[in-house]
Amino acid sequence: MERDLISKKDLLDEKGISYGQLYRWKRKQLIPEEWFIRKSTFTGQETFFPKDLMLARIDKIMNMKDDLSLDELADKLSPLLPDYEMRKIDIHKRNIVSQVVLERFTPEDADSVVYTFERLLYLYVVDKLLQAGEMSLEEGERLLHLMREHFPKFEGKPCDLVFIRKMGVSSFALLSVPAEMYYESGVKLIARLPMAECIEQLKGKLV
């Protein structure tokens, strides 16, 4: 599950913003640190960004910056939505996650049960991997347990979800970023999902 990236030069050209603006927004935490991805190229080290997320974020900043201060913008663009709630029946109606996920992972919940943003995020991540054909329902149950138990411990700090498999046996982990992981021989990396990107994608579906 490779991300579509855009280089810093292409980003500045496409959006008509300056280097100074970009890094001022970074200092003000309008753009997450982990979206600045350093990669080796034939010209040396260059900075890239997750394309869709970065273009959408800059559009938001440009549309709102005349009405709000940078500090107010930072609050608006904070990673989680602590006060957000949605009823189970509305999750289904708006197709936030698939009906399969709702039936399998929330079987006892009535339609009127309210979900916080964080709880909805867990279901969204499970659904994302299931929809990609990367994971079984049984593995989804284990992933959901991992998210519930350990994701809150990061307290809003960036982390990646890592999904690996060896000889048919799968494992999940949540990893602080930036960090590199190295695997023993025979391990296949199925997916590495930056949780910040999952959060942005979910927020986009909720708007």
Q: Is the pLDDT of residue 179 over 90?
A: no
Q: Give me the count of residues in the chain.
A: 207
- Per-residue pLDDT of 144-171, as tens digits, reads 999 999 999 988 777 899 999 999 999 9
Q: In what order do the strands lie in the sheet with 44-50?
A: 5-7, 44-50, 37-41
For the beta carbon of residue 97, count every other beta carbon within 10 angstroms.
24
3-class SS shares of the chain: helix, strand, coil, % to 5: 50, 20, 30
Among 1-10, 106-115, 140-149, 179-188, which is the least confidently predicted range? 1-10
Q: Where do the domains of the chain lie, and which CATH numbers do they carry?
A: 5-76 (1.10.1660), 85-206 (no CATH)
Distance in angstroms (rounded) separating the CA atoms of residues 61 and 115: 28
pLDDT at 197: 83
- Structure tokens, 105: 């992972």
Count how many Cα atoms sit within 13 Å of the Cα of residue 100 in the half-sphere of its side chain. Answer: 11
Q: Where are the alpha helices (DSSP H) in the chain?
A: 8-15, 19-27, 51-64, 70-76, 88-93, 99-105, 117-131, 137-150, 195-206
| CB neighbour list of residue 53: distance below 8 Å, 6 or more residues apart | 35, 197, 200, 201
Mean pLDDT, rounded, for 202-206 = 81
